Structure 1
């Protein structure tokens, strides 16, 4: 007999039940005649509070609420990739087929296709001792990804019987596991996992390898590690979503999970359409072959928006346990925090700063803590990297969501409105951004790129900082009064900004740049700086140095040198030497 309760009061997505219902905390429930999906969020001796993940219009006191006996969970099986879900893992294509353009309430659709037959290779046999995480079957989920079905983390024992290789549906029995107490458990390709509970791992490692994105300002100046966390805060129109698109397309992650959390419907539609057309540059297959999209737009119920973040992380951890590197794009965590604020208000909780609940910081930290580079239960290595966009109102970085996010992420890519309006993209402001991964990743750069990489990066950063302090003087009294060595610093900083930090997403060579080319670009800029500085020290005025077009020629390297022809950089070193000799000869 299922446990039931009766609706006593309704406040938006929050409903109250009178009496001791016997429900459990975080249990999933079905509300009313339409069986709307909800979750128990508070319990006392005589009241039960439920948040409903669907629109509650039309519900009335007296309707029945039925317990499911399970926490709100995601179904994990082949078929997740190349799919688009709502905030509680219901496929939008199935919902659209049943209800048209607008999602109707109480729709009961399977999270994954339960009738599809998969070609399955069984990797265990009768008599095998297995434990949580042991791979029991392999399925080619998409051309890009081999899906490894595992024993659920909380089970271990001996395989009594295993099915032969063949075609199976996700709920077909492929093995029988005997637990230590003699109980027999059937194993299928599918398993469920509660979204708010992190999946266990054997060990966590320190960050040692970068998530290479092909974006110079990220990879070189402010890198993120595999298994790392980053925040992209920025006001409206500064390019948060586009930056995440570029990372999703070019990052060296195996799987991308894009969570559109509370964004505008038309923006989400653009994401869905663009992603389905994109070709994966690594394999030539559609990018969707290794991508899952979770769409929870601003007009969908707020409770589901709050859950969508956890749904995305649970899916990411599942693929991490197979040994894949997964990157999560959460766009945007501000909308998620607003959903928390709205629910908190309806629950009449004591508000903290700007009306956000007092537990905002702990919820944010619990979300970002689920990132990491781990050894999985089956001995493989996998990672979950979380890149969260933050949309502070009016671009004010001092508001609570940005400030609390800053506490928990180790990489901060602050977008700047004035850069965006000046058409400088990515509009990441180098003076306010930072990455704490630089020292952790230094050995990787030295081994895989060049021993001088970190030193070069620090020199470039120093030039940009010098430019910033010099510009304060220039604004007051103009640049003419500066000595020539400081004029040179400003000119080299311009070369760095235009030739290195600015990047064109629509140019075939500039949209994604390999690490080797990024280093060589820095090396050429610093070589020019060294040679020009020597000339200025000899007493050559900057006006003579600027007569040559060498500075503009170095700026255009990003377009003129193809990514696969690093040998062409030799011509630029020679051009700088020729420029040096020519200036000396002219002014001897």
Structure 2
């Protein structure tokens, strides 16, 4: 029997319906004559409150509400990689062909292309016993990604029929499985509710870093694969630029970029630039391993709220195949503002700054879906969540930033002063932190150098000491400081300009391998140690500050190729030679 309700009130993206007693919470519904897509968020008796994911202007009281008999779900199958979706997985390219330049209301639940034929290699055989997560076929979706068709998590049984390998669309049967009661027809896709985490066999410790090629991250504030990261910063501090660099260079297999409510011009830049970008590691289009989900600030707030769940569900699906996925959510503040607007329309009691009282639990629900996991089919995969936060006026004490800080393990604080002085990435080394340093320590010591973490700590101590000395310098000037403290100021300047500042548009500096990062830090450490010894022997800072050596350290990020570090070795020889001579001179005196 078809379930039908009646609209009794419209308040922007939130509508009320009656006759809804047979409907379920979180059920997806079609609203009005245009069949707008919505989701039940409150159900009291036969009265339901529905948030609609499309523009509701023109809806009238008395129009009907139709059931879809399923929760808000996404279709997971070939055709996701390289595509550009809105917040509920509708393909924007396809929508643009239907109605150029505008998303038409009531366009329906279109998603991945059901007509396109894929070259499917069937690996299951008749008589095989399959369970949830097991792979029954493979598709070379892009040159970089092999799409593995998996048995849905809630199904198991014996294979009773297998289609031949060949070209099929996603609606054609590939395998049939029978358990004690039912026969299941497995196609090339599966549906999954976006708000329900996909099941796993178990979680693993986060002890492998996500290598990004960005020096301040890899060397000072490392991110673990499967980790959670917040990048808070005010307007113009480089959140989007930082996420672009991570999307382009991080060693994740698949990138999912969610624009959950950023300004239209920023999202337009992503949509225009990403399809043109070349993946530096494979020299093919970056879109061969990227999914874009686009929601700008002028799209319906409900769709903005859904986009983040759509993105994480797609990420979990590819994780289950054994891939390492990185999600860029830009920005979770706009997502939280969508929650606040819907909460206001529901006339809920507001908490701090008008945000709903359940804001912390919603943020926690999102970030806890990250992780490094053992999947149902025995493979390992990970979902790393990197969320940008846009606090108004750069105020990190506002609710979204504070609550995000509670649930993430790496906090990369962007600084307005650094950004305005053209120091990018504008990550403040004094207020940022990574909780992954202890768990990644063994990896760095085994794969980079035994003293890598000790070297990191030494360089950070120099930067912290310099920060304290700057307070004195502001009051009385640098000349009153003893030479050992003036040396700290000089070495910290090399660290900041020569190491932490990185040029995303320079072909050598945009990505730096870990081996070069380590060698650069060792050269700076050598200068500090040798110069400190000379200071103790009585050498003045004016003689210690050798222009050729200092310039070499400032410019080694540009002058030393990423595949040949012999230039750094020569620079180290120069440092040893110069300071040994200087030391001998003052010893004799």
The TM-score with structure 2 as length reference comes to 0.99
Contact 2:259 2:329 in 1 (8 A): yes
Contact in 2 for aligned 1:95/1:109 (Cα 8 Å): no
Distance in 2 between residues matched to 1:546 and 1:128, nearest whole Å: 73
Q: Structure 1 residue 380: deviation in Å?
A: 0.2
Query: Which residue of 1 is the match for residue 13 of structure 2?
Result: 13
Shift, 1:581, TM fit? 3.3
Matches within 5 A, 1:61-460: 61-108=61-108, 110-181=110-181, 183-460=182-459
| Deviation (angstroms), 1:538 | 0.3
Cα distance in 2 for residues equivalent to 1:458 and 1:230: 21
Q: CA deviation at 1:583?
A: 2.6
What corresponds to 2:548 in structure 1? 549
Q: Aligned with 1:262: secondary structure?
A: strand
- Secondary structure of the corresponding residue to residue 362 of structure 1: helix
Q: TM-score, normalised by structure 1?
A: 0.99
Alignment partners' CA distance in 2, 1:370 and 1:584: 57
Instruction: Give the superposition deviation at 1:567.
Output: 2.6
CA–CA distance in structure 2, aligned partners of residues 151 and 200 of structure 1? 12
Q: How much does 1:547 deviate?
A: 4.6
**Cα shift readout 1:18-45 (whole Å, capped 9, x = no counterpart):** 2443110000000000000000000011
> Which SS does the other structure have where 2:308 is aligned?
helix
Deviates more, 1:266-275 or 1:58-67: 266-275
How far did 1:185 drift? 1.0
- Deviation, structure 1 residue 442: 0.5
Query: Any stretches of 5+ residues in structure 2 without a counterpart?
Result: none
Give CA deviations for 1:304-330 in whole Å, capped at 9, x if unaligned: 000000000000000000000000000
The ranges of structure 1 where at least 4 consecutive aligned residues each deviate by more than 3 angstroms after the TM superposition are 584-588
Query: Secondary structure of the equivalent of 1:68?
Result: strand
Q: Is the 8 A contact 2:4 2:20 kept in 1?
A: no
Offset, 1:110: 2.3
Distance 2:311 2:281 in 1: 24
Counterpart-to-counterpart distance in 1, 2:483 and 2:386: 42
Q: What is the rounded CA distance, in whole Å, between the counterparts of 2:122 and 2:474 in structure 1?
A: 70
Do the aligned residues in 2 keep the contact of 1:2 with 1:68 (CA within 8 Å)? no
> 3-state DSSP class of the match of 1:549?
helix
Equivalent residue of 1:323, what SS? Answer: coil
Bigger Cα displacement from structure 2, 317-326 vs 263-272 = 263-272
2:148 is paired with a residue whose SS is: strand
Distance 2:80 2:109 in 1: 15
Structure 1: distance between partners of 2:417 and 2:20 = 57
Provide the rounded CA distance (Å) in 2 between the counterparts of 1:371 and 1:46: 37
Secondary structure of the equivalent of 1:427?
A: coil
Greater CA deviation, 109-118 or 229-238?
Answer: 109-118
Q: Distance in 2 between matches of 1:579 and 1:507?
A: 31
What's the secondary structure of 1:571's corresponding residue? helix
Mapped to 1, the partners of 2:99 and 2:127 lie a distance apart of: 48
Q: Deviations over 1:291-316 (max 9, x none)?
A: 00000111110000000000000000
The answer as to whether partners of 2:225 and 2:371 remain within 8 angstroms in 1 is yes
State how far apart, in whole Å, the 2-side matches of 1:333 and 1:195 are: 17
| SS of equivalent to 1:444 | helix
Q: Distance in 2 between matches of 1:20 and 1:431?
A: 55
Note if contact 1:4-1:21 (Cα within 8 Å) is conserved in structure 2: no
Residues 27-66 of structure 1: pairs in structure 2 closer than 5 A: 27-66=27-66
